[in-house]
Amino acid sequence: MPRMTIVEAIRDAHAVAMERDERVVVFGQDVGYFGGVFRCTHGLQQRFGKHRCFDTPINESAIVGAAIGMGAYGLRPCVEIQFADYVYPAYDQIVSEAARLRHRSAGDFTAPITIRMPTGGGIFGGQTHSQSPEAIFTHVAGLQTVIPSNPYDAKGLLIAAIEDDDPVIFLEPKRLYNGPFDGHHERPIVPWSAHPLGEVPDGHYTVPLGTARIHRAGDELTVLTYGTMVHVAEVAAAETGIDAEIIDLRSLVPLDLDTIVESVRKTGRCVVAHEATLTSGFGAELCAVVQEQVLWSLEAPIARVAGWDTPYPHAHEWNYFPGPARLGAAMRATMAAP
Amino acid sequence: MMLVSNDVVGRNGEGAVDRDAAMPEPLRLRIPEPIARPGDKPAFPDLLIDRAGEVRCPPIDVAPEDVVDLGSEMIRVLDIHGEAVGPWAGTLDAEQLRCGLRDMLTVRVFDARMLQAHRQGNTSFYMQSLGEEAVSCAHRRALHPDDMCFPTYRQQGLLITAGYPLVDMINQIYSNSHDPLKGRQLPVMYSSRDNGFFSVSGNLGTQFVQAVGWAMASALSGDTRIASGWIGDGATAEADFHSAMVFASTYHAPVILNIVNNQWAISTFQGFARGDSSTFATRGHGFGIASLRVDGNDYLAVHAVSSWAARRARANHGPTLIEWVTYRVGAHSTSDDPTAYRPKEEPYTWPLGDPIDRLKNHLVRIGEWSEEQHQACIADVESAVRGAAAEAERFGTLRSEHSAPASMFDDVYASMPEHLRRQRQQAGF
């Protein structure tokens, strides 16, 4: 089976979707001739032509607004916002328009669009290239929000997103583009070619939206997480010796409640982890659903490990990033409680 | 901040090092004010109006830089005697003009009936288009039936002219059991793909760039349909106005970009959004978009220019920006009282007159209409609107019957996800 990075897997997903359905068009800043600043659309314009993959002016609201108009026409646009940190000018088009178009028109018009954007920190990007804004999308009725942690899921989820009839926010953890980063920034970079999840089948397959993946099976404690933190959790489990069950949610909305409930019922202990800021983060939603569903199975309070409630710093990145030491400490404390 | 005078806000010199005699005056801001407020005598000294027939009609493939003058002049066809004059005249025959008159009368009568329905409590809200009926009615007649409009909330004329059933409009306004939008949208936020009318949003300006996207998709698909986007004078200040212009300009999208300058954005006069730009149409010049300024109360001019722009777009000569100069005679909405911010008499002193009177006078002048025919037409339209309202009332009003509340959980997504299914059960459905 071919081995790919997440960048290559996303590129391949685009190509598969564009090959199968000529309604799929791809555009955004620098995505056409150059192939994207992270190279995720490299080669698409050459292969499919300038009318299927093209560059746009620097205007996020227009990128999403035009995609909505194209979706209403009957195309399936997949657009790139260069960094999640730049999505805010498009927020009105996403929240007030794409998310609600089907409902407000009683199905007369729909927005079958995918909005991709690199998310998360770990690349010394400072506050404008490091944010994790998933919660501002998961809060919005009508949106679906997904975030892969590996090349196999990246390709399968992106094809599923493009083929979906409703808008999908597709977050790409940029620190994972070229290797499974576990938070040990001081260690050599591990490439996807050396990782089993770097194996990506040729051709068409999907990872259905709304399905979580058990990244590591375990009996003592459940870690609910997604994106880069999946790999941080894996190393934290190894370093603490805790037999943790690590659930890679992959899809935040819709959420795979069954997998979460089954795991926490089994382990009785739960830690929630994300890079995004703590307050009103998606972790709060996870804590809420866990206590609603399996409170009487819990043997300890649910712990949250998240980014601090500060802007993402540049020089102090590794004091900010919720790495294996912080996650490991929360896991130990949860094992020790009550 | 301290108030220096009525309309000038200055800033204290706090922190200044040197406050000697050489110190310049404190900085000032201009806060624009309209010519007339309540109690003042209405006047329109800044309104530049050309004589009918005097503005040239260029070929549809003209380069934008060769029509810069048309952004400041005003294209008009009907003169003060009711004659159709000049190079833009002659796009419609008498039967089409009678049809246009009936379209506008239908909108006006419909608006009046719905305002009455609001007073009776049959709806929570209404927005009329009194005085600006020509803009949407004539424009729709210049498009093909399958072209797509991306309207604001004041383009009911597009929908009525397209032949959408009045009863369905009223069902939506009443949020009754036959509301096509199932009670989800504020009254007047219609949607009808089949009638080339995109779902109306309450968020200003968003549809302008969506129209450009739709037009781009049509061109990318090798289609021949064009899009027509709509925005008001006030909403041109929104970022999405400029977003639409830059995309339309970059890709030469087959789109008509309409600015309905009806002088008032609720209480804010049009000069607030326009700044010191000479007209709204001149906003197109920096983008290299052909930009025309038109008498929006002149049915013949609106049709001729719309038709010109549609042919231009369909022939791949790119987008056109059109400023329709008109006047919002009524209140912004049923929640607004314009006597609080403009002179009561202002609507009746508007120099471009009333679009229905002007078209009627023209038809009478050319011997194709009479006062008797006019009164008969009004009676006929009133009867149609009354009939539609009566039919809609059978399906309920805001105060009585609605669509099933469980339906609010439908259409959030193509198929209902588990969490919504659970919430619907919790809600008792």
Residue-wise pLDDT tens digits, B34-54: 999 999 999 999 899 999 999
Distance CA A88, CA A271 (A): 30
Q: Could you tell me the strand order of the sheet in which A221-225 lies?
A: A213-216, A244-248, A221-225, A270-277, A303-307
Distance CA B90, CA A132 (A): 60
Tally DSSP H helices, then E strands, for chain A.
Answer: 12, 12
Q: Which string of b and e fits B7-36 if b means at least 16 CB within 10 Å?
A: eeeeeeeeeeeeeeeeeeeeeeeeeeebbb
B220, A110: Cβ pair inside 8 Å?
no
The maximal CA–CA distance of chain B, rounded, in angstroms, is 79
* Closest residue to A69, CB basis, from B213, B221, B412: B213
End-to-end CA distance of chain B: 56
* Closest residue to B239, CB basis, from A70, A75, A89: A89
Q: Could you tell me the strand order of the sheet in which B227-232 lies?
A: B148-150, B227-232, B255-261, B320-325, B290-295
CB pairs under 8 A between A and B: 140
A142, B244: Cβ pair inside 8 Å?
no
CB B361 within 8 A of CB B82: yes
- Name B78's bridge partners: B84
* Closest residue to B209, CB basis, from A65, A74, A108: A65
Task: Please list, in sequence order, all residues whose beta carbon lies within 8 angstroms of the beta carbon of residue B406, skipping any fewer than 6 positions away.
Answer: B424, B427, B429
Interface of A with B in 243-272 (CB under 8 A): 253-255, 257
The answer on pLDDT for B8 being more than 90 is: no
Residue in the block written with tokens 């090349």:
A151
Interface test with chain A among B185, B191, B210, B412, by most A beta carbons within 10 Å: B210
Residue B403: the pLDDT is: 87
CB A25 within 8 A of CB A53: yes
Distance CA A223, CA B419 (A): 22
Residue-wise pLDDT tens digits, B350-378: 999 999 999 999 999 999 999 999 999 99
Q: Are strands B268-269 and B8-10 parallel, antiparallel or unpaired?
A: unpaired
CB A260 within 8 A of CB A212: yes
With CA atoms as reference, the chain B residue closest to A95 would be B203
Residues from chain B contacting residue A108 (CB–CB below 8 Å): 180, 191-193, 199
B243, A61: Cβ pair inside 8 Å?
yes
Q: Which of B116, B98, B95 is nearest to B382 (CA)?
A: B116
Q: Which of B242, B47, B262, B76 is nearest to B154 (CA)?
A: B262
> Predicted confidence band at A174 (pLDDT cuts at 50, 70, 90)?
very high
A106, B184: Cβ pair inside 8 Å?
yes
Is A21 an interface residue toward B (CB < 8 Å)? no
Residue in the block written with tokens 């009867």:
B383
Interface of A with B in 183-212 (CB under 8 A): 210
Residues from chain B contacting residue A165 (CB–CB below 8 Å): 413-414
Q: Which string of b and e fits A292-309 if b means at least 16 CB within 10 Å?
A: eebeeebebebbbbbbee
Across the range B158-178, mean pLDDT stands at 97
Residue-wise pLDDT tens digits, B279-324: 999 999 999 999 999 999 999 999 999 999 999 999 999 999 999 9
CB A194 within 8 A of CB A151: no
Residue-wise pLDDT tens digits, A13-52: 999 999 999 999 999 999 999 999 999 999 999 999 999 9
- Mean residue pLDDT of chain B comes to 94
Cα of B414 to nearest chain A Cα, Å: 6
> Predicted confidence band at B21 (pLDDT cuts at 50, 70, 90)?
low
Distance CA B342, CA B38 (A): 5
Residue A98: the pLDDT is: 98
Cα of B240 to nearest chain A Cα, Å: 7
Is A25 an interface residue toward B (CB < 8 Å)? yes
Distance CA B254, CA A110 (A): 22
Interface test with chain A among B209, B242, B245, B249, by most A beta carbons within 10 Å: B209
* Integer Rg of chain B from CA: 24
- Name A119's bridge partners: A173
- E strand spans, B350-407: none
The answer on pLDDT for B1 being more than 50 is: no
B217, A69: Cβ pair inside 8 Å?
yes
The answer on pLDDT for B3 being more than 60 is: no
With CA atoms as reference, the chain A residue closest to B182 would be A106
* Closest residue to A97, CB basis, from B182, B201, B227: B201
Residue B20: the pLDDT is: 58
Residue B13: the pLDDT is: 43
Cα of B101 to nearest chain A Cα, Å: 30
A66, B419: Cβ pair inside 8 Å?
no
3-state helix, strand, coil in chain A (%, to 5): 40, 20, 40
- Name A145's bridge partners: A169, A253
Is A338 an interface residue toward B (CB < 8 Å)? no
Is A16 an interface residue toward B (CB < 8 Å)? no
Residue-wise pLDDT tens digits, A55-108: 999 999 999 999 999 999 999 999 999 999 999 999 999 999 999 999 999 999
Cα of B214 to nearest chain A Cα, Å: 4
B414, A102: Cβ pair inside 8 Å?
yes
Element housing A7 (H / E): helix A6-20
- E strand spans, chain A: 24-28, 53-55, 76-80, 114-119, 144-146, 168-173, 213-216, 221-225, 244-248, 251-253, 270-277, 303-307
Distances (CA, A) of A336 to A69, A266, A291, A322, B270: 54, 17, 19, 20, 67
- Name B321's bridge partners: B257, B291
**Quick check: is A129 catalytic?**
yes
Residues from chain A contacting residue B240 (CB–CB below 8 Å): 61-62, 65, 92-93
Interface test with chain B among A92, A256, A282, A285, by most B beta carbons within 10 Å: A92
Residue A1: the pLDDT is: 85
Catalytic hit among A14, A51, A129, A139: A129
Interface test with chain A among B153, B402, B411, by most A beta carbons within 10 Å: B411
B243, A62: Cβ pair inside 8 Å?
yes
* Closest residue to A66, CB basis, from B148, B209, B419: B209
The answer on pLDDT for B4 being more than 50 is: no
The three-state secondary structure class of B218 is helix
Interface test with chain B among A21, A70, A282, A286, by most B beta carbons within 10 Å: A70
CB B71 within 8 A of CB B282: yes
ipTM for the whole complex: 0.94
DSSP letters, A206-256, are ---TT--EEEE--SSEEEEE-TTHHHHHHHHHHHHT--EEEEE--EEETT-
Residue-wise pLDDT tens digits, B57-71: 999 999 999 999 999
With CA atoms as reference, the chain B residue closest to A140 would be B412
* Closest residue to A65, CB basis, from B198, B227, B240: B240
- E strand spans, B20-77: 28-30
- Name B42's bridge partners: none
A210, B417: Cβ pair inside 8 Å?
yes
Residue-wise pLDDT tens digits, A206-259: 999 999 999 999 999 999 999 999 999 999 999 999 999 999 999 999 999 999
Residue A334: the pLDDT is: 98
